[in-house]
Amino acid sequence: MLIPPILVIERTLKDAGIPIDGVSVGSPADRSTWRAFYQAAATAAQKTQGDGLLLTLDPQDPTVVAAIKADLATGTTNRDELIAITQALYAAIPNPLLTLAQVRAQFLANLKARL
């Protein structure tokens, strides 16, 4: 799976402790189009460090790419949990007299069925 450079850039800056709201990449081949949008709390030193990282970082750094892939895998697991919660809550709608324990048991049954 090819990870888009914009995700690697954002992750690298955040991992460096630089407060950003996001990044943009006009053209992946032209670093002069890469921008970081710093939060108001970012110091001048952090902005300088961030600008330096934009010029030097490897957009396919294997360590950062592996961390992003791990995050994406966790997101899939979280999606399964959200689906199971939704199914359990939906099951409670026709019968609002279900106890919390019954809704919780239904959630766990739905989650186990998805895994």
Same domain (yes/no): 24, 43:
yes
Of 37, 59, 81, which residue sits at a domain end? 59
Query: 3-state DSSP: the chain helix, strand, coil percent, rounded to 5?
Result: 60, 15, 25
Question: From CA 89, how far away is CA 95, in angstroms rounded?
Answer: 10
Tens of pLDDT along 55-65? 999 988 999 99
Same domain (yes/no): 55, 92:
no
Of 35, 59, 83, which residue sits at a domain end? 59
| Phi–psi pair at 17, nearest 5 degrees | 80, 20
Q: What angle do CA 115, 89, 105 make, to 5 degrees?
A: 55
Tens of pLDDT along 6-37? 889 999 999 999 999 989 888 888 999 999 99
Assessment of whether the complete model's pTM goes beyond 0.75:
no
Distances (CA, A) of 10 to 16, 34, 61, 69, 107: 10, 11, 12, 14, 35
Q: Sign of torsion, CA 55 60 6 73?
A: negative
Same domain (yes/no): 29, 49:
yes
Same domain (yes/no): 44, 85:
no
Same domain (yes/no): 79, 43:
no
Same domain (yes/no): 10, 55:
yes
- How is residue 115 written in tokens? 């895994």
Same domain (yes/no): 71, 54:
no
The parent domain of residue 54 ranges over: 5-59
